């Protein structure tokens, strides 16, 4: 084992290599593993114990979750209740925190849902439905699927079809009371189960329809759609959110950044004007107008929002950085340099930022890096302004 400090990146690289080798072994020996699970998990424990780096407890136990997930994915016995129960019994025993079973149980449930074993999946999801929004949504889906598709599982009651529908709806309503995070349990390899996306969105949009006055479902969906780069779903959620909750600036913020990041600047400006009407004394929409004007033709838009910035008492040091950015992105290097020099003279306490900005903007001469330099300048300016104006991250 390596002694002394080992960077987290090195540990993760070694764990990734160990995972890859073990996954190949599982794929090649799945039937033998199924026949002798205690021996297999003993091998996994030995591999971790003999690792050449000291593995943190959390990473050690998440490694075991990943092994279980891959084992269930390759096994033909996922429909065998006793097999699944045996795996979920043995795997926690080799963890450092033997009580932390959530990753193993959710791994089982994910593959059980794929196999149509909704009752059994709900059993494994139920203890964690309050702690992770995706788990809670999948739990609700299990009852929805029992209502919609039925099941051949022991314990399924065809006469309770409508009761399953009620349980599904109740499970989604409960989530809006608990408001759990969505990545407390479903992370790492558990988040790679693409077949679970459809059940999640089905239940989320159902809840949006069932409970039209509840904003939490929209906030959750927007966050996950952004993380997944799911532009179509994001646009749909924002359309619903702005229509139902026009008084919530958070939805305006999300819609603005969606338009800006997509290069739909005219739509972004239209949204900013709407925000200005609803929040006439707020600095946030004025700043959005300024940052958008950097990339629009002409100077009229910048002039409009520069005047508005003074009306809402935007701090002088922020305005000076905004002036620099406007000149810089319009290609006027001389005036931009003067703006930055004036900022440095006026606010010597921010010299660290001004000198860094000066170096990035004016001393990176590689023509192949021109776009990267502009992005770096914009990122630095935007982060500074939003932090100083106390504008929340979208």
The model's pLDDT over 293-350, given as tens digits with 9 standing for 90+, comes to 999 999 999 999 999 999 999 999 999 999 999 999 999 999 999 999 999 999 999 9
- Segment 118-135 shows an average pLDDT of 98
Q: Which residue has the higher pLDDT, 393 or 129?
A: 129
With tokens 């193993």, the residue in question is 104
Supply 343's token pair.
Answer: 């900022």
Q: Considering the domain boundaries, does residue 64 fall inside one?
A: yes
Task: State yes or no: pLDDT of 368 exceeds 80.
Answer: no
Task: State yes or no: pLDDT of 140 exceeds 70.
Answer: yes
pLDDT score, position 158? 86
Long-range contacts of 315-323 (CB under 8 A, 24+ apart): 315/388, 315/389, 316/346, 317/343, 317/346, 317/347, 317/350, 317/388, 318/384, 318/385, 318/388, 318/389, 320/346, 320/347, 321/381, 321/384, 321/385, 322/290, 322/381, 322/385
Task: State yes or no: pLDDT of 351 exceeds 70.
Answer: yes
- The Cα angle at residue 53 between residues 51 and 55, in degrees rounded to 5: 85
Q: What is the DSSP letter of 52?
A: S
Q: Considering the domain boundaries, does residue 240 fall inside one?
A: no
Please, which residues have CB within 8 angstroms of residue 335's CB and are 6 or more apart in sequence? 327
Q: Considering the domain boundaries, does residue 96 fall inside one?
A: yes
Element of type H or E holding 254 = helix 249-261
Count Cβ atoms below 10 Å from residue 196 Cβ, excluding itself: 20
Q: Considering the domain boundaries, does residue 39 fall inside one?
A: yes
- CA 296 to CA 353: how far, in whole Å? 26
Q: How many CA atoms lie within 13 A of 58 on its CB side?
A: 6
Q: Considering the domain boundaries, does residue 206 fall inside one?
A: no
110 touches 173 (CB < 8 A): no
Nearest to 386 by CA among 304, 297, 328, 325: 325
Q: Helices 161-178 and 216-227 sit at what angle, rounded to 10 degrees?
A: 80
Supply 166's token pair.
Answer: 């009620």
Q: How many domains does the chain have?
A: 2
389 touches 284 (CB < 8 A): yes
Q: How many CA atoms lie within 13 A of 74 on its CB side?
A: 18
Q: Which residue has the higher pLDDT, 211 or 365?
A: 211
Q: Considering the domain boundaries, does residue 80 fall inside one?
A: yes
Nearest to 112 by CA among 145, 160, 66, 136: 145
- CA 4 to CA 24: how far, in whole Å? 31
Q: How many CA atoms lie within 13 A of 170 on its CB side?
A: 7
Supply 147's token pair.
Answer: 């209502």
Supply 389's token pair.
Answer: 């104006």
Q: Considering the domain boundaries, does residue 73 fall inside one?
A: yes
Burial 123-154 (b: 16+ CB within 10 A, else e): bbbbebbbebbbbbbbbbbbbbbbbeeebebe
Burial 354-374 (b: 16+ CB within 10 A, else e): beebbebbeeeeeeeeeeebe
Q: What is the DSSP letter of 241?
A: H
Which of the four pLDDT bands, split at 50, 70 and 90, describes residue 363?
confident
Supply 232's token pair.
Answer: 């179509």
Q: Which residue has the higher pLDDT, 393 or 84?
A: 84
Task: State yes or no: pLDDT of 3 exceeds 80.
Answer: no
Cα dihedral sign, 367-371-376-377: positive
Q: Considering the domain boundaries, does residue 216 fall inside one?
A: no
Domain end (from 74, 100, 126): 100
pLDDT score, position 174? 98
Which of the four pLDDT bands, split at 50, 70 and 90, describes residue 4?
low
Domain end (from 33, 66, 100): 100
Which of the four pLDDT bands, split at 50, 70 and 90, describes residue 231?
very high
91 touches 104 (CB < 8 A): yes
What is the domain range of residue 372? 315-388
Please, which residues have CB within 8 angstroms of residue 356's CB and are 6 or more apart in sequence? 380
Domain end (from 100, 134, 164): 100
């Amino acid at each position: 084992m390596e002694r002394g400090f080992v960077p987290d990146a090195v540990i993760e690289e070694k764990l990734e290599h160990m995972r890859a080798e073990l996954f190949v072994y599982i794929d090649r020996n799945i039937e033998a593993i199924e026949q002798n699970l205690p021996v297999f998990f003993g091998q996994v424990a030995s591999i971790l114990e003999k690792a050449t780096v000291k593995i943190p407890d959390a990473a050690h136990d998440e490694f075991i979750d990943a092994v279980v997930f891959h084992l269930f994915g390759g096994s033909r016995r996922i429909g065998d209740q006793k097999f699944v129960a045996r795996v979920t019994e043995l795997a926690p025993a080799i963890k450092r925190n033997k009580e932390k079973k959530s990753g193993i149980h959710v791994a089982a449930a994910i593959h059980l849902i794929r196999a149509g074993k909704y009752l059994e999946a709900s059993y494994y999801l139920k203890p964690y439905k309050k702690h992770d929004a995706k788990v809670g949504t999948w739990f609700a889906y299990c009852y929805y699927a029992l209502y919609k598709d039925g099941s051949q599982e022991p314990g399924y009651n065809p006469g309770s079809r409508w009761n399953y529908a009620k349980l599904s709806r109740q499970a989604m309503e409960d989530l809006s009371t608990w408001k759990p995070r969505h990545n407390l349990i479903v992370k790492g390899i558990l988040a790679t189960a693409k077949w679970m996306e459809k059940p999640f969105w089905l239940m989320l949009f159902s809840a949006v329809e069932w409970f039209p006055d509840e904003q939490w479902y929209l906030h959750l969906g927007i966050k996950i759609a952004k993380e997944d780069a799911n532009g179509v779903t994001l646009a749909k959620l924002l359309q619903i959110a702005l229509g139902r909750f026009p008084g919530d600036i958070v939805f305006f913020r999300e819609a603005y950044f969606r338009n800006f990041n997509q290069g739909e600047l005219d739509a972004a400006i239209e949204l900013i004007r709407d925000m200005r009407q609803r929040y006439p004394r707020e600095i946030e929409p004025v700043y959005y107008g300024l940052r958008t004007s950097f990339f629009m033709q002409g100077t009229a838009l910048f002039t409009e929002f520069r005047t508005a910035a003074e009306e809402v008492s935007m701090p002088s040091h922020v305005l000076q950085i905004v002036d620099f950015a406007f000149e810089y992105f319009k290609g006027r290097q001389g005036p931009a340099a003067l703006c930055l020099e004036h900022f440095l003279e006026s606010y010597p306490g921010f010299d660290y930022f001004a000198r860094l900005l000066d170096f990035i903007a004016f001393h990176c001469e590689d023509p192949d890096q021109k776009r990267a330099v502009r992005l770096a300048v914009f990122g630095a300016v935007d982060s500074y302004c939003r932090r100083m104006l106390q504008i929340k991250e979208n």
